[in-house]
Every structure is written in C-alpha cells, then in structure tokens.
Chains A and B, each alone.
Chain A
Amino acid sequence: MTIQFNDESFRDDYTFRNSEWAIKRFPFPFHEDSYMYSVNMEQHRGGPEGSVYEKRFDVDEHYVSEMKDRAIVLDQDPLRCQSLPHMTLAGWDLLELIMVSKSEDYPDLFELHRNGNQWRWINKPLGIDHSFTFMDETTLPYGPMEYITRQAQGDYAVLDQRDDMLWMDAGMVTTQADWSLDFDIGMNFFEWHAPVPLAHEMGVFQRALKFLLNIQQGAPARRLNWTMTVNPLLDTSPENYSKWGIQKTTLTPENIGRKQHLRVELQTFFRLPRSNALVFPIRCYLCAFEDLMTVPKWGRRLHRVVRDLPVELATYKGFINNRPLMLEYLSQFDDGLPTSPGVWPDLETEPPLTK
C-alpha cells in the first residue's frame, strides 16, 4: 500500500494525529492485565501483515514529520548525535542495513543501486537522490550513521561489543523517554541501566546482556518497552526537561483523553557484520488515551495495568502524580469483563463496552 504522510508537529501546536489505520496497528504492549519487567525478547523476523512488526524498519504516516522534528532537535543540540572515532565502521554497517532493508521492504518509496562501492540512494518521501562512495565519508554530508538516521524513524544506540560487554559508543537520540546520550556515551550495559528500579535485583539485566551478546548476524531480535507522555512529544529528553516536565501538570479530567499518550518503544537488535557491533533501534509510537479507548479490549486492560503497577515503576516512568487522574478517566472504560490473551485488538471477537 502507499502511505499518506501526515503534515504534523510534535511540539508547540501539537498537530500530531493517528489515523484509524495507525490506531489499529499501534503496538499495544500489554499481553495480559498486569505488567512487570521481564526478559521479554523474541526473534525479529516479520509479523502479521500490516503490523509494525512486519518489516525490519517500519515506515508509517509519521515518517516525514518525524524527520523534520529530528532536524529541529539536532539544529538546537548537535550532541544528540555522537559517534566515538572507532565506531565509524559500525556507522557504515548501519547505513547499509537500513538502505538494503528499506529498499527491499518498501520498493515504491526507497531505491538502492549498487555498483561496487558506487552507490545511489533514492528516498522518495524526503526527496533525496544521492550518489556516494561506500566507505568514503567525504562523499556524504554527514558521517554515515548521522546521514542514514536523519532518514530513519526512531532513536539508534550503536553498541561496541568488547570483553563480553556492550558499550554505548555511538548513537542518534532525539526521541527518547528521558535519558541522555551525552550522559550515557561510553558507558556499559549495567552503567546506563543503573537508574532502572527492581530489574537489577530480579536478574533481568544479567540475562538480557547474555542474550544480547549472543545475537548473531541474520538473526535479529526485538522487545517492547513503554511509558507515558503528556502531549505528543517525541523529544522528552533530560536536556529539555524544563520545557516538557511542566506540561505534566496541565492534565485535567476534561483534556486527559486527548493530551495523555501511551508511549511505546519497539526496540530491535541487529548484529552489524563488518564491525561486530550491535545496533539497537528504539522506535517510538505515541497514541492518545481517547484513541486507545476505541478498542474495548485495550480500554479494559490499560485501566487494570495502570491501577496495579508497582509504585516504583509508576515513579520511574514519571506518572505517579497523574495516576489518580488517569485511573478516574480509564475506569470509565473498564466494565470488569475478562480480556482475551495477547496484545492484538481482537475487535471482531471482544465484546463492546457494557457500561
């Protein structure tokens, strides 16, 4: 299908909207009526047709506007994109992975023509037609990682693997849930995860690291993470906390359905061939509460998850103060009926709200 790209903003007047198509394919992250951290990883080899899991790098209606938002962030704060000198090869690996994947998965939108190291890249949605020499930085306007991630939705952490450990040695991070590349650059897997509550004690990170170190070429993996965001902001960074943190106090019973968004990250993991580094794309999807409530199963379930979430998690995710307001709103959509297992909307089979 051809995608109609929205012209929308993720700041100031917040014209961001999800079409009905985007709501149906939203990666709702809860497969049951409660939530706790776990090593929730699975293979990333496609998924149901039309779902966000189908392609290696999902492209949707927000693509063009998200790339404009990224350009604004980088313009104001160039440190959102960093690559330590030894990570350039991994940058080329990433450029190749994204160009090959997108041109194969979306041939109507992207084309890649290769003749040895002479490459021509056509990105129709962004109006780019660029010939360059692979592995020759002087033929690109930016370093290879920056060049390609200015054209790909989601944040990218590029991890060097050394001594049975992962190191955050490069990244493009402009759509993050309150963490900072500039702070984390050069840190290892345990160091950058230090602020996360409970998971360390549960052994989640030991097991997760072991899994990641063994991710092999040709066998990518994925998992979901989630948090809450008031207003459809992509850039909820510590650097700009003064601008967005305060917006959390603007929620009222009247505006919460429109303003409060569930923020879901589709995180994938690919081994990069030439550098043996690991890339960790973190793709952010936003959905307003009132849009989520159009799916009866999600309405019932979201209420129960938010209600029963441990205080530590609600605090870490930054919505402990707004939880009572959220529950007041969400409870209207929970009639106490059981929910079907799994994350899918099940619109045909789940009963409508009886309340």
Chain B
Amino acid sequence: MSGAEKIQVKVTEITPLNELVTRFRFERVDGGQLPTFSGGAHTVVEMQDGGITRLNPYSLMSDPFEQSSYTISVRRDDQGRGGSLFMHRQVKLGDEMTISYPVNLFSLDLRARKHLFLAGGIGITPFLAQIKQLDVLHGQWELHYACRNQALASYADELAERHPHETHIYYDDQKQAIDLKGLLNGQPLGTHVYVCGPKGMIDWVCNTAQAQGWPADCIHYEEFLAPQPGKPFEVHLKASGKTVYVGEHESLLEAIEREGVDAPYLCRGGACGQCETVVLDHEGNFVHRDHWLTDEEKAAGKKIMPCVSRFEGKSLVLDR
C-alpha cells in the first residue's frame, strides 16, 4: 500500500475568502474524532475528477488539538493541472471525500526559544496551525506575512486582531516589503526561522539567513510543488513490464498508478523522498522539480521523483 492511512470525510463547510482562496471544512463520515496532529502537517486530498484520480497535498490550518474537524484553504491555480480547479468548482457541501492521515514535513523545532515565521500568500496556512499550537504551549513567535494586496490577504485581519503584537503584514501593491536583513539581525539567540510561500521567497530567505551565518538546522522551509503540466512522454516500467504514456496534464506518478502499478508516495509534492525511483536507462533530459534529490543526484540521472518530475526525450526506463 502507498501513502499514509486514509480517512473518509464529508465536506461540512465551504467558505470563499476572496477571489482566489476558498476554505473547506472536513468531518468524519462516521461521526468519530479525527487524529490530533502537529502544526505544519498536511493532508493529501483525493479527488475523483472524471476518469482521473488526483491526490493533492494541502496544509492543515485548523487547531491541531481540535478533533471534530479539519480545515484547509485552497488557492485556485488557473494555470495548474486542475486539482485546485476541481476543489473550487466541483466540490459541494455534503460531498464525501477521502483524505490521508496528517503527515508533517514542516514541523516546529520545539527547542527553539522563538519561532520567526515568514509567509507569502497562501503559504500562510501551515503557520495558522503552528500559531494555534504555540498558543497552547506558550511559545514565543512572530509572523511576517507578505500579500499581493488587502483583498487577497487571507486571514490577515483575524491574525492582526488576535495577535496584534506578533503579526506584521506587508502589501505588495503598497510597496511594503519585509526588511529581511534587519529582521534576521535583530533576533535573539535560539530563534528558528520558517518560510512558506513562492519559490523565490523561500530562496531569498534561506540564502539571506545562510549568508548571515544562521545554522542550517535553524532554517526551515516548505514549498509544495504542484506537479506542472508538460510535454507528453513515454516510459517503460521494467519490473512490471508495462509501457505507459504520460499525458500533458498528468504527472508521471499518476500515469504509473493509472496503469495499476503500485508505487510508493507520501507528500506528492517533491518533499518527502518516498517516491524515489531508480532510472535504469534513458535517452533525453530530465525535468527534475523536486526538493529531495541533491544537485549531484539530479545531474547523475540515475534517480527521479515521479510525483513532480518529468522527462523530455526519446526513451526512459524505470525500475518499477
């Protein structure tokens, strides 16, 4: 079996927050309690979209100790392959869905004296759960949240209201920007920095912190990569003796699963390493998009992460 344990839930609330973001509440179909989790955890939501099964990870944003329901916020991605469009357009109140047990690849370092959170756009969601967890544990934290404009600033108002001293909001359209260097400089010893947002922001924060001498184990980031569409290609699965066609709008992992081959996975976002697959032979170029393989491994072309990475070229043979 692949992936984490599954839970049957029904959709009990759908709340559009703004033009792009909608919040969904899930409760167990059998009325029972959901597992508690740790702030920063995500769940993988299964979507039956026509003939395709989509599995997308979303950060859990509800109180981690609250067991009656989970909530997630989904940002509509008009360019994407349709997972978020499905959530926005197809999912109705009362629908039954399958989600995974919580999995955490972005947990708090509980040794930290202080937690410094940097969020960009929808990257705010894991911090919402972490902030609730720190409320219970009486942890010290500070949030710097960059949004495009006031209308798209999901949860900014309630954060500012509930935590006026800890919350700092920046609006791009008002030319407000985080003074990252100054911010990092002024932190007390024992602070950990966490960033979640677009790739550019993650790189900026990680590189700046590193340049200022922050130890690597005090810098934490999470970027879920949604698999991107790409040119179709063919792959031969040696162990199962199948040749599979990977369409423009499906990931390599989805295509393998469609053919009934059981392949391991967990996050489906290039972060956990579970789906790592050995390349037996190839003629062409990899489009590596994961955060798991090292640059050397990517260059060597002996492994691929099929949840997010693709291939362009003549032939690809995998040990699967």
Contact = CB atoms under 8 A, between A and B. Distances in A.
Contacts of A219: 4-5, 101
B38 A216 contact: no
Interface string B206-244: 000000000011000000000000000000000000000
Nearest to A86: B110
B37 interface: yes
B107 A89 contact: no
B64 interface: yes
Contacts of B272: 214
B65 interface: yes
B300 to A, nearest CB: 18
Interface in A140-184: 160-163
Interface in A198-251: 210, 214, 216-219
A331 interface: no
A274 B107 CA distance: 10
Interface in A71-86: 84-86
Contacts of A84: 111
A274 B110 contact: no
Interface in B274-289: 274
Nearest to A165: B217
A160 B104 CA distance: 13
Contacts of B111: 84-86, 160
Contacts of A86: 109-111
Interface residues of B, number: 27
Contacts of B36: 273-274
A161 B37 CA distance: 15
A322 interface: no
B137 A89 contact: yes
Nearest to A273: B36
Contacts of A273: 35-38, 102
A217 B217 contact: no
A213 to B, nearest CB: 8
The secondary-structure label for the interface of chain B is: loop
A93 to B, nearest CB: 8
A276 interface: yes
A273 B259 CA distance: 34
A275 interface: yes
B136 interface: yes
A216 B266 contact: yes
A161 B41 CA distance: 14
Nearest to A87: B110
B110 A218 contact: no
A135 interface: yes
B4 A218 contact: yes
A133 to B, nearest CB: 13
A276 B104 contact: yes
A217 B102 contact: yes
B82 interface: no
Interface of B: 4-5, 35-38, 40-41, 64-65, 101-104, 107, 109-111, 133, 136-137, 216-217, 266, 272-274
Rank and list the top 5 A-B pairs by shortest CB-CB distance, nearest first: A86-B110, A218-B5, A276-B38, A276-B107, A86-B111
Interface of A: 84-87, 89, 135, 160-163, 210, 214, 216-219, 273-276
21 contacts: A84-B111, A86-B109, A86-B110, A86-B111, A89-B110, A135-B136, A160-B111, A161-B107, A210-B273, A214-B266, A216-B101, A216-B103, A216-B266, A218-B35, A218-B101, A219-B4, A274-B38, A274-B64, A274-B65, A274-B133, A276-B40
